[in-house]
Homo-oligomer: A and B are copies of this chain.
Amino acid sequence: MSTNTTRSDAIYASLRRAILEQALKPGVKLPEDSIGDTFGVSRTSARNALVRLAGDGLVEMRPNRGAAVAMPSFEEAEDIFSLRRCLEREVIERLCKRMSKDAIDALESHVKEEERAVRASSPRSIRLAGEFHILLAELTGSAELTGFVGRIVSRSSLILARFGRPHSAECGIDEHRSLIAALKAQDRTRAVSIMDAHLHAVEDRANSDDSGREPDVGAILSRYLSPTDQ
């Protein structure tokens, strides 16, 4: 049995990981042949991966102008987090109805892994924090819900990469723990309110630093119009 996974699959996965772990920051250009060169494949495979990432909203492709890591605007950020709260509330409410022992085990072991990554200052920690939320969605058993949560969590990561202060943990692990506790107790209202608070905390972390808040160079430089330095 051979690979069953094509080369563009590999590139897609690698690029995606690199973006989610903030190794590729929003706005970074992704020319087809550089990518092809670095991965040792042709532009065709690189392009295929880019198209898929564009479908995920992780990269933006403008005709004849190339691809770049997506740069969600501040307005998009608010929009995304608003919808994310809606989706994750649905996740929590579904989970509260029936929470299996295995599910709790999976969540607790995931949090342990998060903790390990944080202690090791591994870039994996950034991605794992998002994947905690995806794991929650998976445990509902709904593939659709999982897919949507995955999409929106990815885009949230992009927002944190763009607006958040660097090297800040994405999600508070303690909040993840207390959420698990509420789920274990099947305390619906408490679980929902913890999740809401958690997501608001994540969103605030994004707003805390507006260094990259301006969408384009023109807007950034508008503050430097005068030749005098303040």
Binding site for B on A (CB under 8 A): 4-6, 44, 47-48, 51-52, 55-56, 63, 76, 79-80, 82-83, 86-87, 90, 142-145, 148, 151-152, 155
The interface residues of chain B lying within 8 Å CB-to-CB of A47 are 48
User: Are A83 and B4 in touch, CB under 8 angstroms?
Assistant: no
With most chain B CB atoms within 10 A of its CB, the pick from A48, A76, A80, A148 is A148
The interface residues of chain B lying within 8 Å CB-to-CB of A82 are 142, 144
The interface residues of chain B lying within 8 Å CB-to-CB of A56 are 55
Residue of B nearest to A51 (CB): B51
The interface residues of chain B lying within 8 Å CB-to-CB of A4 are 63
User: Are A83 and B51 in touch, CB under 8 angstroms?
Assistant: no
Least CB distance, A215 to chain B, in whole angstroms: 15
The interface residues of chain B lying within 8 Å CB-to-CB of A55 are 51-52, 55-56
The interface residues of chain B lying within 8 Å CB-to-CB of A52 are 51, 55
Q: Which of B5, B48, B51, B83 contacts A148 (CB 8 A)?
A: B83
Least CB distance, A73 to chain B, in whole angstroms: 10
- Further contacts, 20 of them, CB under 8 A, given A4-B63, A51-B52, A86-B90: A44-B44, A48-B51, A51-B51, A51-B55, A55-B55, A55-B56, A76-B143, A76-B144, A79-B143, A80-B144, A82-B142, A83-B90, A83-B142, A83-B144, A83-B145, A83-B148, A86-B87, A144-B155, A148-B148, A148-B151
Q: Which of B6, B76, B80 contacts A63 (CB 8 A)?
A: B6
CA separation between A20 and B163, bound complex, in Å? 38
User: Are B142 and A79 in touch, CB under 8 angstroms?
Assistant: yes
User: Are B152 and A144 in touch, CB under 8 angstroms?
Assistant: yes
The interface residues of chain B lying within 8 Å CB-to-CB of A44 are 44
With most chain B CB atoms within 10 A of its CB, the pick from A55, A83, A90, A155 is A83
CA separation between A51 and B145, bound complex, in Å? 22
CA separation between A47 and B86, bound complex, in Å? 35
CA separation between A48 and B54, bound complex, in Å? 12
The interface residues of chain B lying within 8 Å CB-to-CB of A6 are 63
